Amino acid sequence: MFFVVVKGRRLVLHLVILLWTLGGVFSLWSWLTRPYPAPRIGIEGASAALVEQLFGKEQIREIVFGSAPELLIRLGDGKLDYLVELDTPTPGLISSYLGQLVPAVVVSFFDERMEMDLEGLLSLIDREPHQVLVSDALSLPGFPWSNIPVQYLPSSAVVDQLQMEQGKVGVIPLQDRSPAVRVLPLSGVTPLQTNPPYPLSRSLYLSHPPESLPQQLKDRVTKHQELQGISPDPWGNQITMLAVGDIMLDRDVKKVGLQKGWEHIFSEVAPRIRQADLALANLESPIGDKGHFINMFQAPPDAMAGVAYAGFDVVSLANNHTLDYHHAGMFETMRLLQEHGIEWVGAGKDIHEARTPLIKEVDGVKIGFLAYTEMWFVYSREPISWEATLDEPGVAPADVDMVVEDVKKLRDLVDCLIVTVHWGKEYVHEPTLEQQKLARAAVDAGADLVLGHHPHVLQGIEFYKRGVIVYSMGNFVFDLNRPKTWETMILEFSLSATGPLDMTVIPVYIFGVQPRILTGSHKDAVYRQIRDFSRQID
């Protein structure tokens, strides 16, 4: 009897041990295979904006603010998973370099200041902190504005407020800039270049404690990967694009081209144009020896060598002279463009082709082009439809509904969307209401840049919502005998996978028929005119 009882107790004990062991194994397996929850991230500062930019809201469970000692204690107690650290990571933690945080000092585009020194910035922050607009992503310790009642806003709001002259200066992460603001060099150093070091730049690190052996085992079982940030690269994946206005290569321009060579016409500006990754112009005259005269212009076939020498990659054919030598003249122009490796947009064998966008990818940045022309100023000595139709060649008309439809179709296919339009009244510096309506509708539909030509003179630049509207870039190569038509410009844009970042206005003057980049007081005078025309736009 005693033997049976003892044996029964051992059996129960063994059963308990077995169940306990199985329970432990099951619990361990459940722990090993259970996915990690979204991480808790700590940062010194008063805003979640930087952390959300680095990792995205969907990857984060909680963002915790505090001093460095407080955050390190929470990390050691297991109440945090990661720390975002500035400048130098904490010894003993596992740290990975995230990238550079580059706070750029910006002003509204036509602000007269061209640079600022660090002492001037510090003085402005001290005297008028309410006039200093700082991105909430930069609400961090160790900056000149830390612990001072400056205005913290999202980067986009900083840009908007500066446009409305609601602040004197803004500070935003360099990658958040847009053409509506200009980046100022600080103490002679621009943040747009990596060397020399910019005074406000700081390094970012992501740190976490060393993992225990059980955690390493869990990582292997779950194939867990460490939190991956979107490394801020303020200088990466950018290209430059230049844009100019009307190029007409007939009449007096042709005389110079035949006498001195077509390259001579562009020789003063070609080095600058060829430096760009992409260059755009409006080709105002057909080129070739085909077709017959029905309006005004046709340049000889050799003229195309001058356009190619200048460095242009894309031209708009949507204008009131593309069909000056009928359909055959337009198609010969297209053939010569193709022969010289230049692409075109805005014209075609029918309306479908004329409206078809040109998409180019340069160094990983996709740029889409659309081109149109107003039709009210078109003149022809023969009754042809300048506007392309379902079964007739021609150009794309600047119809608002058509433009909006095309922009919406193209928007999700490209990083930067550019609409170029031949429009407005000749020799008038103010855009028409029709120009403004069409341009703003294009931006509302998704256009980043709207670039205009045809008036033969300069018109203003408008920063509308997130878009840039240049109502007239003026002539670039032309022979008109009116001094105001000799003032022109090259526009230089920095383009990225997130859209346009910068715009630079380069004043130019046409000497005879040859455009030259201006310097000194003449440059300043033309720039002031562009600024004044821009400020007059309602």
Per-residue pLDDT of the chain (538 residues; tens, 9 = 90+): 444 455 666 777 767 777 677 666 655 555 455 556 788 999 998 888 999 999 888 888 999 999 999 999 999 998 999 999 999 999 999 999 999 999 999 999 999 999 999 999 999 999 999 999 999 999 999 999 999 999 999 999 999 999 999 999 999 999 999 999 999 999 999 999 888 889 999 999 999 999 766 655 555 655 556 677 776 778 878 999 999 999 999 999 999 999 999 999 999 999 999 999 999 999 999 999 999 999 999 999 999 999 999 999 999 999 999 999 999 999 999 999 999 999 999 999 999 999 999 999 999 999 999 999 999 999 888 888 899 999 999 999 999 999 999 999 999 999 999 999 999 999 999 999 999 999 999 999 999 999 999 999 999 999 999 999 999 999 999 999 999 999 999 999 999 999 999 999 999 999 999 999 999 999 999 999 999 999 999 8
Q: What is the pLDDT of residues 201-259, one digit of tens each?
A: 999 999 999 976 665 555 565 555 667 777 677 887 899 999 999 999 999 999 999 99
| DSSP state letter for 254 | H
pLDDT value at residue 221:
54
In this structure, are 265 and 358 located in the same domain? yes
Amino acid of residue 309: Y
- 226 CA to centre of own chain: 31
For residue 264, the model assigns a pLDDT of: 98
Strand segments (E) across 7-150? 40-43, 62-65, 82-86, 94-101, 103-108, 132-135
Last residue of a domain, one of 165, 187, 222: 222
Per the CB < 8 A criterion, the answer to whether 131 and 114 are in contact is no
Place of tokens 């107690």: 77
| pLDDT score of 33 | 54
The Cα–Cα gap between 261 and 253 comes to 11
280 within domain boundaries: yes
Same domain, 307 and 444: yes
* CA 412 to each of CA 98, 363, 366, 476, 513: distance values in angstroms, whole numbers, following the listed order: 29, 18, 11, 32, 40
In a domain, 398, yes or no: yes
Residue 528 in any domain: the answer is: yes
Contacting residues for 316 by C-beta, under 8 A, at least 6 apart: 280, 281, 282, 283, 344, 345, 346, 369, 371, 420, 422, 453
Q: Are residues 406 and 297 in the same domain?
A: yes
What domain count does the chain have?
A: 4
Q: Based on the domain organization, do 189 and 208 belong to the same domain? A: no
* Sequence-ordered alpha helix ranges (H) in 241-399: 251-260, 262-266, 270-275, 303-310, 326-339, 351-355
Both 165 and 252 in one domain: the answer is no
> Are both 344 and 444 inside the same structural domain?
yes
Same domain, 407 and 530: yes
CATH of the domain at 161: 3.40.190
Asked if residue 134 is part of any domain, the answer here is yes
Domain-embedded: residue 316: yes
CATH number at residue 74: 3.40.190.10
Q: Indicate whether 228 belongs to any domain.
A: no
Same domain for 281 and 166: no
Residue 355 lies in a domain: yes
Q: What is the pTM of this model?
A: 0.91
DSSP assigned state of 473: B
Residue 80: give the domain boundaries.
Answer: 40-99+204-222
Query: Do 163 and 281 lie in a common domain?
Result: no
Q: Confirm whether 227 is domain-assigned.
A: no
Domain end, chosen from 152, 170, 200, is at 200
Q: Are 157 and 482 in contact (CB under 8 A)?
A: no
